[in-house]
Amino acid sequence: MAHLLIVGGSDAGISAALRARELAPSADVTVLVADHFPNYSVCGLPFFLSGEVSDWHTLAHRTLGQIESEGITVLLDHRAEQVDPVGKMVAAVARGGRCRSLSYDRLVIATGAVPNAPAFSARRLPGVFCLRSMRDAFVLHEYLGRFEPRSAVIVGSGYIGLEMADALSRAGLSVTVVVRSSVLRTVDPSLSDIVRDELSRNQVKVVDAGSVTGIEKDDSGGLSVRMGAQASVHGDLVLLATGIRPETALGETAGASLGVGGAIHVNRGMGTNVPSIYAAGDCAETWHRLLGRYTYLPLGTTAHKQGRVAGENAAGGHAEFAGSLGTQVVKIFELVVARTGLLHSEASEAGFDPFTVDLESPDHKAYYPGATSLRMRLTADRRTHAVLGAQLLGHYRAEVAKRADVVATAISGHMTVDDLLSLDLSYTPPLSSPWDPVQMCAHEWLQVLGGSGSPNMKS
Amino acid sequence: MAHLLIVGGSDAGISAALRARELAPSADVTVLVADHFPNYSVCGLPFFLSGEVSDWHTLAHRTLGQIESEGITVLLDHRAEQVDPVGKMVAAVARGGRCRSLSYDRLVIATGAVPNAPAFSARRLPGVFCLRSMRDAFVLHEYLGRFEPRSAVIVGSGYIGLEMADALSRAGLSVTVVVRSSVLRTVDPSLSDIVRDELSRNQVKVVDAGSVTGIEKDDSGGLSVRMGAQASVHGDLVLLATGIRPETALGETAGASLGVGGAIHVNRGMGTNVPSIYAAGDCAETWHRLLGRYTYLPLGTTAHKQGRVAGENAAGGHAEFAGSLGTQVVKIFELVVARTGLLHSEASEAGFDPFTVDLESPDHKAYYPGATSLRMRLTADRRTHAVLGAQLLGHYRAEVAKRADVVATAISGHMTVDDLLSLDLSYTPPLSSPWDPVQMCAHEWLQVLGGSGSPNMKS
């Protein structure tokens, strides 16, 4: 009976375990979970901290009991420290310091990612937080309840930074976001400027700082975030949301090679360079479907899919990860911003000959009540017309995310802009137009590329 | 200078005119419009009658001025009566009975569809209406305002019947829908039963009748809809919503052959069998992308696309209509029902070996407020796994329509169920799950087909 050991109890690890059990019901599948919280939706943490989710238990994708009922052994509070790839053993430290040795036939490393350490030392000051794990969330939640801070400074304006700006505002705090280069760099300025406006509209202050140089206690008992010699902002708490890096320490003890972005190098089957060892999720590289090469693109959706592939192969299968397009979406107050594929600049760097257009249109027929403005940027190759990427922004009721998914599906189907225009998409006046905004944007792309500016797709 | 004549001022006709002008700016493009309302969104009429759209003028996709500013000649109140395909002339009757002869080099017939005549004679009774044209809407609107009817009987439970049940309920009437076979036959009973519940929940009475045998004035001054010898329902007004048929009379005078469903037979370029004559929209056949043959599937989205192709070819181009998948969506009270591709039964008839599963899941992570139940039925070929169709039903805020569009895009990309599972779709807890419901359903399909019932995609 094959013994499958999986290190990591989040998206990739649990997906791997479930898939392995599904395909090899007789396999002995054990998951080591470093904390007490297997299979939690860490993407939900901002909504717990905002108060929108009142009971953190509901954040579990599955309960421990549900996982165990699939025949999976879950060892909580077990931190894997070392892999012996020759003896096929993992050394782990259990709660209380007890050391254990666990053997494996196949090992899946799904150790995730950890917050980037800031360039200054501040992490350990009281009132300075980061948000990655359930524990991080509990600590911050307790601080919010106990000290009732009135203001917060968030360093970083990526997804977590902006979701937390929303969350802490909802929780009643006055929020300042410190931006290093541009708000939400995952989209182009014409869209991220609208996100900035949405923050302002919701009383979130946005401060542009070349970089943060330090955080210190200030006279009022709060914290001061310094940006160079002159400027600083004050807050009763500081959240560091400056990105994540792959957690590869365990993989390195096994001799796993690192690749793009310092993540564990894998093949399309999620195998590492070490025999019988797989890696999946935020600790591993990501095959990019459009680029045709590995990238580092840590996302929950990808972790689930990579975990499933790793689990299948660890159970003796022959699955391949189809690849990511970097499809992602974030809700910030009333706005939703989504993207898939490449930005214009990324497409250029990758050797495409990209051409990009912008379109603003109502999300549905303007005569039907509740129409809101939808913005889309479409990037495609000038020569082949192959769709390369899209960015969409609109009201969170405006089906922005699934419109991005239509483009993601089109990219996966190797479609051209002309193909987008020919798609048979659904229409009823309360929800779209006879030409969906995605198609209006495709039309605009063809028109502008062809030198004709007259958009007659208002229909 | 080529003279393009287009008969019909709705979706297909105006699309053809715009596309022709775009490609051949020097062409002389004339559109004959039978009434006074070119380029109106007839799909919006129920929302005008419900009161949701207060000003009918806003239903215009474009104003007459906007169309004319593209260099298109619009002749209002011109009813085309006869085509002489040898002399390339169209005889039309203008308002007041004046006859005109108009020559053409290329002719596009976009005469649309007309309501099916009921098997009984009732159409001309006061208080009996149908809804197809702007005029129909004005007549009904005036009746509602002048006579303040308190109850309505709607004969037919397709899209128009159900949208009007919603609309007249909103307008304050007590509504009964008379159903011939099944409510919303465009989806399978497991979904249409939910639509029936939604009607009941909104105090719409649903009456099953083998068939309606007559409508007559009753003693109370209202109308009585008779269903056989015994049963009848009463209403202050009756709306006949028993489907439409292609309006082909003009095409027939030209010698155009009719095809599926009595619609004008066309080729992929929207050409008829008569030289220099094209047909597009609800009067013409529809190429079905999956079936690989012609059908009759009159939809606004299709009319726009076919009109565009006809206009391009009439202007000397070589466009092909890519085909329809029958993608459609309707909003009924709080529900949205969408479908694309084939139902199981249709797939069987077409020679596929379909396998269909049902899935119910929250539209987004259940822990985030506002999650609602989404239902999906996925049909794919047992042997090839090719996606053949999907039906979705859910709350109208639940991105139901664009999820159907993801499947429509996948079908156009010749994807399998396995490919659906590998798509990189967007996720944030307020809007989806790490595996979008579309993918959960794909997973369910693979699981059930493979004989394993355990769904572990709850993530």
- Give me the mean pLDDT over the A206-217 stretch: 89
Residue of A nearest to B320 (CA): A422
What DSSP element (H or E) covers A156? none
- Give me the mean pLDDT over the B167-182 stretch: 95
Q: Do B424 and A368 touch (CB under 8 A)?
A: no
B452 pLDDT tier (thresholds 50, 70, 90): low
Residue B118: per-residue pLDDT? 77
Task: Quote the percentage of chain B above a pLDDT of 70.
Answer: 97
* Cα separation values, A444 from A358, A450, A456, Å: 8, 10, 9
Residue B379: per-residue pLDDT? 98
pLDDT by residue (tens digit) across A275-303?
999 999 999 999 999 999 999 999 999 99
Best CA proximity match to A436, nearest among B422, B329, B394, B380: B329
pLDDT by residue (tens digit) across A135-171?
999 999 999 999 999 999 999 999 999 999 999 999 9
A452 pLDDT tier (thresholds 50, 70, 90): low
- Give me the mean pLDDT over the A62-87 stretch: 97
| List of chain B residues whose C-beta atoms are within 8 Å of the C-beta of residue A305 | 422, 424
B455 pLDDT tier (thresholds 50, 70, 90): very low
Q: Where are the beta strands (DSSP E) in B289-386?
A: 293-295, 328-332, 335-341, 354-362, 373-381
Best CA proximity match to A404, nearest among B244, A412, B195: A412
**Cα-only R_g, chain A:** 23
pLDDT at B164 over 50: yes
| List of chain B residues whose C-beta atoms are within 8 Å of the C-beta of residue A324 | 424
Q: What is the mean pLDDT of chain A?
A: 95
DSSP string of B41-91, one letter each residue: -GGGHHHHHTTSS--GGGGBSS-HHHHHTTTEEEETTEEEEEEETTTTEEE
pLDDT at B459 over 70: no
pTM, entire model: 0.96
Residue A256: per-residue pLDDT? 98
Residue A123: per-residue pLDDT? 63
Contact A225, A212 (CB under 8 A): yes
Task: Give Cβ neighbours of residue A194 (< 8 Å, ≥ 6 apart).
Answer: A335, A375, A393
Residue A147: per-residue pLDDT? 95
Which of B302, B304, B402, B447 to probe by mutation at the A interface, max A CB count within 10 Å? B402
Residue of A nearest to B18 (CA): A456
Residue B228: per-residue pLDDT? 83
Residue of B nearest to A436 (CA): B301
Residue B457: per-residue pLDDT? 59
Closest to A331 (Cβ–Cβ): which among B47, B303, B428? B428
The CB density around residue B349, as the number of other CB atoms within 10 Å, is: 12
User: Which residues is B107 bridged to in the sheet?
Assistant: B5, B277
A457 pLDDT tier (thresholds 50, 70, 90): low
Chain A nearest-CA distance from B410, in A, is: 6
Contact A309, A387 (CB under 8 A): no
**Residue of higher predicted confidence among B369 and A119:** B369
pLDDT at B454 over 60: no
A120 pLDDT tier (thresholds 50, 70, 90): confident
Task: Give Cβ neighbours of residue B169 (< 8 Å, ≥ 6 apart).
Answer: B175, B202, B203, B204, B333
Distance CA A338, CA A187 (A): 8
pLDDT at A455 over 50: no
Which of A54, A304, A459 to probe by mutation at the B interface, max B CB count within 10 Å? A459
pLDDT at A1 over 70: no
Closest to A22 (Cβ–Cβ): which among B338, B434, B456? B456
pLDDT at B16 over 70: yes
Distance CA A253, CA B7 (A): 76
pLDDT at A451 over 80: no
B117 pLDDT tier (thresholds 50, 70, 90): confident
- Give me the mean pLDDT over the B166-172 stretch: 98
Task: Give Cβ neighbours of residue A196 (< 8 Å, ≥ 6 apart).
Answer: A183, A206
| Residues of chain A by 3-state class (helix, strand, coil), percent to 5 | 30, 30, 40
3-state class of A51 per DSSP? Answer: coil
Q: Which residues of A are catalytic?
A: 43
| List of chain B residues whose C-beta atoms are within 8 Å of the C-beta of residue A62 | 458-459
User: Which residues is B214 bridged to in the sheet?
Assistant: B226
B178 pLDDT tier (thresholds 50, 70, 90): very high
Q: A437-449 and A400-412 are packed helices; what angle lies between their axes, rounded to 10 degrees? A: 60
Contact A32, A7 (CB under 8 A): yes
* Cα separation values, B295 from B93, B261, B266, B291, B325, Å: 32, 7, 11, 9, 10
Which of A306, A320, A426 to probe by mutation at the B interface, max B CB count within 10 Å? A426
A210 pLDDT tier (thresholds 50, 70, 90): confident
Residue A454: per-residue pLDDT? 46
Q: Do A406 and B404 touch (CB under 8 A)?
A: no
pLDDT by residue (tens digit) across A354-381?
999 999 999 999 999 999 999 999 999 9
Task: Give Cβ neighbours of residue A181 (< 8 Å, ≥ 6 apart).
Answer: none
Q: Which amino acid is at A458?
A: K
- Give me the mean pLDDT over the B424-447 stretch: 97
Q: List alpha helices for B108-188, DSSP H.
A: 134-147, 159-170
Closest to B458 (Cβ–Cβ): which among A62, A323, A419? A62
Cα A370 from chain centroid? Answer: 30
pLDDT by residue (tens digit) across B39-97?
999 999 999 999 999 999 999 999 999 999 999 999 999 999 999 999 999 999 998 89
Q: What is the mean pLDDT of chain B?
A: 95
pLDDT at B451 over 90: no
Q: Do B53 and A367 touch (CB under 8 A)?
A: yes
A231 pLDDT tier (thresholds 50, 70, 90): confident
Residue of A nearest to B457 (CA): A15
Tell me how many degrees the CA angle A59-A65-A67 measures, rounded to the nearest 5: 80
- Give me the mean pLDDT over the B11-35 stretch: 96
